[in-house]
Chains A and B, each alone.
Chain A
Amino acid sequence: MDESYPSEYGPKWSDQRAGRLLGALVCAVVGLLLALIVTVFIKAWPSFAHNGLAWFGSGGSVEEQLNQIYLSGLSGADYVYTFHGWQLIWSTLLITGGAVLLALFSALFVSVFIVEFAPEWMRDVLQPVVRFLASVPSVIYGLLGVLVIVPFIGNHLVTESQKASVAGVISLSGYSLLAAVLILTVMIAPLMVSIFSDGLRSVRPGWLEGSLALGVNRWRTTWKIAVRTARPAIVAGTVLAVARAIGEAVMLAMVSGSIAFAPNPADGLIFIYEPSRPLAPTIVKNIDSLGSPPSNATLFAIAAVLLFSAAVFSLAGWVARRAMRKYGATA
């Protein structure tokens, strides 16, 4: 303590400024976040208020509804808000669900391999590669999709009879569920791999050694001890990947087909070639209609649904991680 500084003035400012500054920054960030959520929901309110729960239901073509909403805002008389978003929601569920499932399986095996089985030199190469892949901007994947994957699916996988069977309703030209799911998987799997392998690496060596010493083979030890213990990390990685997949807009706008259409698994295998458009790309596609007040409310309503689902997922992830704390590993 500096003796020339009387202690009745409290702690010295120079001792406190770092803490106070950081505290102010945190408050500002939290305030911004709150303001963001409140703004989105206030702007979205007219759309929810007019549609009620039917907003999430099906009925009619979303494309036509969006057009009616837009036109009603230009004339300025009676605003139309009727919107049934099921086609968009179903597309989001299919694409996100498909990609997360595929990525979960492949990422789990890849990270087990990297942590438990790969030789030292391979691990040194794979880890930086995975970290790099996890940070590649999504528009690059979108370009790859448009230039390589989409034409390949359209020209080589889809047959003429399949195209003819749905002619006039939708085009099977390669912009499809399959393309969207494949590219989204490639996009989110590295993120999962890097979090999963951190989790696997933090498993206490003693537990694995104990299992091996009892004569359990390496694969079983990995599967029953390491992977089980790392479950909180697996949940955390999956939640992050789901959040990224749900919010992905640019890449999906480029490859998913961008028609509000609900691919129906009952159609048989053909449904993976069917185009659709999830929620987030719908906002991108309709940016130009923001000038019309009812369109504005509808797009903000879509944004509110995305925000809400992201919040639900991070909450669910937190709950799941808490429940798994007893397994010992932290993430």
Chain B
Amino acid sequence: MRIRTLVISAVALVALAVPASASAVTLIGSGSVAAQPVLQALFSTYTKEVNHKVHFVYTANGGNAGVKDVQNGTSQFAGQARTPLPSDAGTTYIKMFLDGLCIDVNPKNKLKNITIQQTHDIYRGLLTNWSQLPGSGLATTIDPVGRDTNGGTYNFFLQAVLGNELPASNVNALTADGLVVNAVKTDPNAIGYDGLAWQGKGQKALKVNGVPCQADKISVEPLKYPLSRYLFLVLPGDGSGISPALSKFIDWARRDPLAGEVIAKAGGVPAFNKKAKK
């Protein structure tokens, strides 16, 4: 009797684990944390509005890990926030949408504009007091916060601002973009960097070299805002051997006006999407 109960519950468990409909397709991806908010929004809109049978599983384990997953076949695609490196051999990068890295300070800080050079000097430990930046209205020690080496935000900042020099030892390296936002929110002396998707209450985005960190300034090429970048999907091989469901999704996300709206709402900047008819 007990054995029968066991068998029945085991069968029930297996049945639960298998997707209900046999014709449904599940696309498995991993990678960039920075691209996650926008990708998730695209996934759920696609499943809801375009094709009910396509489902997505996305693990935000960092861009480099995502590329590795694609190389060894555990993921069908990866989100990536940096440009290709030699170690990415055997993969194809596809431009999906744009993202801007904003430099943020606490709202108590009166600073409006910062140059790339000043940002570089702060994160290299050369400028350490807010009085060295005219217009900040503060005379306190700067608390620079940044990301640790995981994920694309750090790498992009390293390339675009620090010229591939390591940040100084007084930069607090936090494990997630959300923690950077929190640090800038709670500390009046802090300065931090994070994606457009994170802009909101509690932190103030500075103009960089006079250009505000806004979606319309990070528009299609030439990229006017100094800290803007493409976010990529990484595909195995030359990108031709992927499943038809995935290639349909990529076309939709890159071209469709609805996808453009979703990208903009989630904090990214659509790069190629047609404008919606009004």
Contacts and interface: CB of A to CB of B under 8 A. Distances in A.
B179 interface: yes
B186 A164 contact: no
Interface in B179-217: 179, 182-183, 186-190
Nearest to A261: B169
Interface in A104-127: none
A285 B173 contact: yes
Interface in A210-260: 253-254, 257-259
Given A67-B166, A146-B182, A275-B172, A163 B140 contact: yes
Interface in B18-64: 62, 64
Contacts of B149: 67, 70, 285-286, 288-289
A287 B62 contact: yes
Interface in B150-188: 150-151, 166, 168-175, 179, 182-183, 186-188
A291 B142 CA distance: 34
Given A146-B182, A151-B187, A288-B65, A61 B140 contact: no
Nearest to B126: A168
B169 A167 contact: no
Nearest to B152: A288
A287 B172 contact: no
B187 A154 contact: yes
Contacts of B128: 164, 167-168
- Interface size, B (range): 35 or more
Contacts of A171: 141-144, 170-172
Contacts, number: 108
Contacts of B142: 167, 171
A172 B140 CA distance: 12
Given A63-B166, A291-B64, A291-B65, A164 B141 contact: yes
Contacts of B140: 160, 163
Contact of A168 (B150, B166, B170): B170
A169 B65 contact: no
A61 B183 CA distance: 25
B16 interface: no
A134 to B, nearest CB: 25
Given A167-B129, A168-B125, A291-B68, A63 B175 contact: no
A259 B169 contact: yes
Nearest to A67: B166
Contacts of A289: 64, 149
A51 interface: no
Contacts of B68: 291
Contacts of A154: 143, 186-187
Interface in A249-308: 253-254, 257-259, 261, 275, 284-291
Given A287-B150, A291-B65, A291-B87, A167 B170 contact: yes
B125 A287 contact: no
Given A155-B187, A254-B179, A175 B172 contact: yes
Contact of B175 (A163, A169, A170, A284): A284
Contacts of B86: 74-75
Nearest to A161: B141
Nearest to B66: A288
A209 interface: no
A163 B144 CA distance: 12
Interface in B114-128: 125-126, 128
Contacts of A168: 125-126, 128, 168, 170
Nearest to A290: B65
Nearest to A260: B169
B183 A169 contact: no
Interface of B: 62, 64-65, 68, 85-87, 125-126, 128-129, 140-145, 148-151, 166, 168-175, 179, 182-183, 186-190
Q: A-B pairs with the 8 shortest C-beta distances?
A: A167-B128, A151-B186, A163-B141, A173-B143, A288-B150, A168-B125, A168-B128, A288-B62
12 contacts: A70-B149, A150-B186, A155-B187, A167-B142, A169-B125, A171-B172, A172-B141, A259-B173, A261-B169, A275-B172, A287-B150, A288-B150
Given A63-B166, A168-B170, A258-B174, 9 more contacts: A154-B186, A169-B169, A170-B169, A254-B175, A258-B148, A258-B172, A285-B150, A285-B173, A288-B150
